[in-house]
Structure 1
Amino acid sequence: MSVQLRPAADDDLFPIGDLHYRSRACAYAGIVSPDALTFGSPAALGEWWSERWHWERDTHRLTVAVAGDVLAGFTYLGPAEEDGVAELSAIHADPAFVGKGVGRALMLDALPELGRIGTRAVLWVLAANSRARCFYERGGWVADGVTRVEAIGNEPVDQVRYSRTV
């Protein structure tokens, strides 16, 4: 499968919200409750991405993967809270493209940019998301022992931090 990667444009933000909503529902099914998965809406996530991008576009990078005219995935990265550390804040593939190399292409594209921000990069993943954890581990990321609890749709969910040298 051939996908093209490019910087996101303003008119990508609502489709990104839609993809994020569907990706989250698919990836987190069985990990969080159905009520948490349906919290908000694709339009609400589009608004959220529009607002976030408005404030962070000078310090962050939003990249989309497209297959023809279909949005297949996206990444969002920038500086972490810790000085000299980069953070991969989001990597999502449309459920129809999972397992077809979109995530790998996005990750390979993100790594050099993470390295321009810091010498180390971090990301957070749901502790129970074994598929995502295996994906990151195959890419050289390692759980570094830091954990947190964050809400998805008002439901607290355990997360594990992964890190790697970039």
Structure 2
Amino acid sequence: MTTASRETPLVVREMTASDVDAVSALRIAGWRYAYAGLLPRSYLDGLDAAADAAERRERFAAPAPGVTQLVAESADGTVAGWACFGPARDEDLPPGEGELYALYARPDLIGSGVGRALMDQVLGLSPYPGMRLWVVEGNDRARRFYERAGFGPDGGTCADPVADVPVPEVRYHRARP
């Protein structure tokens, strides 16, 4: 799988076990960047890439059915982004819907085309008639990104607690064109 963005030459490919550490580091950096001011600072400061990598290795060794993980790799071979999708987890959805569980670009590469390259590959590979995703309500940058990719709020909301603080989220949907 190869995708070239306009600004950053990339290869988008399936994640391998050797990508776990880089994905965990990217994911933690992404959380700290995207959720600053939206999640408790103490929670973000306490995130640990090594602990995340250990958990991610276990999941990678025994993947859930239908889950696909992709990485965007820069020309220099570094992991620039990560996406994960599979069957939708919400029980109130029509059968057969998909869900984008995660999509992260390295914070220093936001706006460079990494996220778009990953999204294009996710949508191209998705066998689902529709894709859902959850986004933190106050994450305006992410919401604009998803809306430009054709997603929109579908009326689903939740407020899962993070460090005992409820964090409101909005569910988005995009039908297969």
Residue 47 of structure 1 corresponds to 54
Query: 5+ residue gaps in structure 2?
Result: 1-7
Alpha carbons of structure 1 residues 25 and 140: separation in structure 2 relative to 1, 3 Å = same
Q: Distance in 1 between matches of 2:68 and 2:113?
A: 20
- Structure with bigger helix share is 1
Q: Is the 8 A contact 1:80 1:87 kept in 2?
A: yes
Quote the residue 1:141 is aligned against.
151
Which residue identity lines up with residue 133 of structure 2 in the other structure?
L
Identify the match of residue 18 of structure 1 among 25, 38, 41: 25
Determine if the alignment matches structure 1 residue 97 to structure 2 residue 109.
yes
Distance 2:28 2:164 in 1: 15
Q: Would you say the 8 A contact 1:17–1:47 is kept in 2?
A: no
Question: Are 1:147 and 1:159, in contact at CA under 8 Å, matched by a contact in 2?
Answer: yes
What pairs up with 1:1-150 in 2 under 5 angstroms?
A: 1-56=8-63, 58-67=65-74, 68-81=76-89, 82=93, 83-114=95-126, 116=127, 118-150=128-160
What per-residue deviation string (whole Å, max 9, x for no partner) do you get for residues 46-73 of structure 1? 1222222233254211000011221100
Q: TM-score, normalised by structure 2?
A: 0.87
Letter in 2 for 1:74: W
Instruction: Mark the runs of 5 or more structure 1 residues left unpaired by the alignment.
Output: none
Q: Percent identity?
A: 34
Contact 1:85–1:119, Cα closer than 8 Å, also in 2: yes
Using the alignment, how far apart are the partners of 2:162 and 2:103 within structure 1? 16
SS of the equivalent of 1:38 reads helix
Q: Distance in 2 between matches of 1:154 and 1:14?
A: 28
Q: Give the AA of the match of 2:30.
A: S
Change in 2 beyond 3 A, CA 1:110/1:103: same
Quick check: which has more Rg, 1 or 2?
A: 2
Letter aligned with residue 119 of structure 1: P
How far apart in 1 are the matches of 2:113 and 2:148? 13
Shift of 1:135: 0.4
TM-score scaled by structure 1?
0.93
Count residues in correspondence.
164
